[in-house]
Amino acid sequence: MTEITTTTTTTTISNDLQQNLSSEIIVNLSSDTNETTLSTTGTTNSMLDSTIVDEPPTKKCKLTTNDKPRLLEDRLSSILSCCICLDLSTLPIFQCVNGHLMCASCFNHLLADCKLKDEQTTCPNCRCEISKSNCTRNLAVEKTISELPIQCDYCLQIFLRSEIKIHQSQNCPDRPTICDYSLLGCNWNGPFHTLSSHLAICEYPTKTGLELIETIRAQKRGCDDEKKYLETVVDLLSLNQIGVSGMINLNNRIRTQADYFEIT
């Protein structure tokens, strides 16, 4: 009887231990599952946040463009400009056999430069041979340029290119001018519309001859020096053909191009 009671007690204790162990295991498993779920959720949220931050916008922003159309004179300026200096010139306009435009200044400079180097002159755009005989003036382009508008450098008003020269030299109220008594030594200069107010207070008309004699002598010496300088320049320019012939003869006597440029 005693053995049966002992066995029953032992069985009851073992059952209780098994239940306690099972409940602890279940609690531990549930806590581990919760931690794993939380960590997974946090990782997923961080990935979503990073994805949201790094993701480019679904639609590009609209670029603001200037839809204002270009004026006709602006479009013509780029078409009729010289292919060398890229400027609209009031000088005669020449064209090569393929129609590329060059102003007279650039055209003559190109011919002279190639002549000094004893090279064939070519068009800067198409490389065709050009000379004074095969290049012609383009009167249509010259007349078109003369009718294009241009801004005055002094009064900032708009005039035709054919009228701007006379306006700036004779009619513009803001054109620069000097005093009427500049030959007597007055150094004043300013806009034309202020000339009358200056003449009212200018002191040179009231000076005596003795006061003006030194100023006139100094100006005469300056004019003589300038005259001598200009005469020297004219003499040098009159030797143009002789200078070119000398350069050509010198080039024929020189063997290599490197020696040619070293000597010149």
pLDDT 10s digits, 128-182: 999 989 999 999 999 999 999 999 999 999 999 999 999 999 999 999 999 999 8
* Partners of residue 137 on adjacent β-strands: 94
How far apart, in Å, do the first and last CA atoms of the chain sit?
140
Class level of CATH domain 72-146: alpha beta
Q: Which residues contact 106 (CB under 8 A, 6 or more apart)?
A: 82, 84, 85
Cα separation, 10 vs 15, in Å, equals 9
Tokens coding 12: 């009851």
Cα separation, 205 vs 181, in Å, equals 7
For residue 263, what pLDDT is reported?
43
For residue 230, what pLDDT is reported?
92
**Tokens 């004699």, residue located:** 213
SS3 38: helix
- Residue 106 near residue 69, CB atoms below 8 Å: no
For residue 211, what pLDDT is reported?
85
For residue 34, what pLDDT is reported?
53
The residue ranges of the chain whose pLDDT is under 70 are 1-68, 240-264
- Residue 228 near residue 214, CB atoms below 8 Å: no
SS3 141: helix
* Partners of residue 94 on adjacent β-strands: 102, 137
For residue 73, what pLDDT is reported?
79
